[in-house]
């Protein structure tokens, strides 16, 4: 007998098929069947009639605890935003980080994100929140060279975190090394990070050419941009998650393709901070794996990946309405995100992780023939009815297993402390 059967919905597999009145069978955290007819019985059956059944969304770059800074530094350019945020960050306690992480996890569960890549500090707190909440995440303890600790101590502590948590929570937690950027870490430091990642067989998550100032700084410091520097030290590869990648030349794009680097596009944050527009259509045309991320809610305002998909689609259509069709954007938020995180998710097919969401289609905005277009251009997190991770139901019929009231009260207390300082 299986653990769970989902019946009667429009099953969007992300593997080239939409199955009307479909069936998805889940056992031991994995999908075991996707199709129209299944004789199997299960301990739990979900009637998905009137719903789209699809893989959960994957937020491939964020800073989860920054939910507590939402609205704190709005309407500021990147440099002024950073100068306001960073002093407040330095005052955060582990308990503050935990409260912000729980608020972020709650928002993700309610809006249909089932996995995310995170980079911040006090990351043991974030890992515990992921473990307790049932979410899936790739976690990196952020590193800015020279801040608070010497390099040796910093690298040792980050390695301890990475080894301690990789594979935890029944495999729902994986870890990455997370140097902040090539501008905030020396070449020698980055070489040591790469050595650790290779030693531990882990991925690397970092910001790359998010701002024009980074580009200018790197050229002044090294006579080359971040991409060329990283390439020159053998840093780049398919194990690298490069967030933002706004200020790229065509040669940079060629390097990213040659080295099979994964890029994460964060359009809402880039627009809000005025840093520019990443050349995503060019990267996709070259065959680079581009995923989507919200960045932290302090800049993007939201962890709702539906908003991020729509923003990405319309931003690039300003120049060419034919680029980034709905199907491609949905791939970026599912299939490409899974590839970026190195997880067996992002599609509904046997052997894949049972990370599944149900979207309530009994609403006016979904009354059209093209399901993919309806979802990307018409859905929001409020339309997510049920969220399942690793075969476990985290939200059903809009009811979350977590204590929503306590999570929001704890976060409010932290926010009040921040705003009153």
- The whole-number pLDDT of residue 275 equals 97
Is the pLDDT confidence value at 77 over 80? yes
Domains, the chain, in order of start with CATH, read 2-55+347-400 (2.30.40.10), 57-341 (3.20.20.140)
**Which residues, 6 or more positions from 252, have their beta carbon under 8 angstroms from its beta carbon?**
209, 225, 227, 228, 245
Q: By C-alpha distance, which of 305, 326, 318, 320 is closest to 369?
A: 326
| Residue-wise pLDDT tens digits, 369-410 | 899 999 999 999 999 999 999 999 999 999 999 999 999 999
- The whole-number pLDDT of residue 37 equals 83
Q: What is the mean pLDDT of residues 243-265?
A: 98
- The whole-number pLDDT of residue 240 equals 98
What predicted TM-score, i.e. pTM, was given to this entire model?
0.97
Is residue 117 within 8 A of residue 205, CB to CB? The reply is: yes
Residue 112 Cα to chain centre, angstroms = 12
Please provide the average confidence, as pLDDT, over all residues in the chain: 96
- The whole-number pLDDT of residue 325 equals 95
- The whole-number pLDDT of residue 112 equals 98
| Residue-wise pLDDT tens digits, 139-188 | 999 999 987 788 999 999 999 999 999 999 999 999 999 999 999 999 99
Is the pLDDT confidence value at 99 over 80? yes
Q: By C-alpha distance, which of 86, 133, 181 is closest to 394?
A: 133
Sign, Cα dihedral of 112, 113, 115, 120: negative
Is the pLDDT confidence value at 38 over 80? no
Q: By C-alpha distance, which of 54, 127, 131, 73 is closest to 97?
A: 127
The rounded distance, in Å, linking the Cα atoms of 241 and 257 is 13
In the three-class reduction of DSSP (H, G, I as helix; E, B as strand; rest coil), residue 297 is classed as helix
């Amino acid at each position: 007998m299986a653990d769970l059967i989902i019946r009667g919905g429009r099953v969007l597999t992300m593997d080239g098929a939409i199955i009307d009145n479909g069936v998805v069978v889940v056992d031991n955290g994995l999908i075991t069947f996707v199709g129209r007819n299944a004789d199997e019985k299960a301990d739990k059956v979900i009637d998905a009639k009137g719903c789209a059944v699809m893989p959960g969304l994957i937020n491939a770059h964020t800073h989860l605890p920054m939910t507590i800074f939402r609205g704190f530094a709005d309407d500021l350019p990147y440099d002024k935003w950073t100068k306001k945020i960073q002093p407040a960050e330095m005052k955060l306690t582990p308990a503050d980080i935990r409260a912000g992480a729980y608020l972020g996890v709650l928002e993700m569960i309610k809006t249909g994100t089932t996995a995310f890549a995170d980079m911040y500090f006090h990351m043991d707190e974030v890992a515990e929140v992921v473990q307790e909440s049932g979410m899936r995440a790739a976690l990196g303890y952020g590193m800015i060279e020279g801040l608070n600790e010497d390099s040796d101590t910093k690298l040792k502590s980050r390695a301890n975190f990475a080894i301690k948590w990789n594979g935890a929570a029944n495999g729902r937690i994986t870890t990455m090394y997370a140097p902040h950027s090539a501008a905030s870490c020396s070449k020698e430091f980055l070489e040591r990070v790469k050595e650790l990642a290779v030693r531990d067989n882990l991925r690397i998550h970092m910001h790359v050419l998010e701002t024009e100032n980074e580009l200018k700084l790197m050229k002044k410091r090294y006579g080359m941009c971040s991409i060329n520097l990283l390439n020159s030290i053998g840093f780049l590869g398919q194990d690298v998650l490069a967030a933002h990648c706004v200020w790229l030349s065509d040669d940079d794009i060629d390097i990213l393709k040659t080295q099979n680097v994964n890029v994460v596009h964060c359009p809402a944050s880039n627009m809000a901070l005025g840093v520019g527009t990443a050349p995503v259509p060019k990267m996709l045309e070259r065959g680079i794996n581009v995923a989507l991320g919200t960045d932290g809610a302090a800049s993007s305002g939201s962890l709702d990946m539906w908003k991020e998909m729509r923003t990405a689609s319309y931003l690039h259509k300003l120049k060419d309405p034919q680029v980034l069709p709905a199907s491609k954007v949905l791939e970026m938020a599912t299939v490409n995100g899974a590839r970026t995180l190195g997880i067996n998710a992002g599609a509904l097919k046997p052997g894949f992780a049972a990370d599944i969401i149900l979207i309530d289609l009994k609403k006016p905005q979904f009354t059209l023939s093209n399901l993919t277009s309806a979802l990307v251009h018409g859905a929001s997190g409020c339309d997510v009815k049920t969220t399942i991770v690793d075969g476990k139901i985290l939200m059903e019929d809009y009811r979350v297993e977590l204590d929503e009231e306590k999570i929001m009260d704890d976060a409010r207390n932290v926010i009040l402390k921040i705003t009153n300082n």
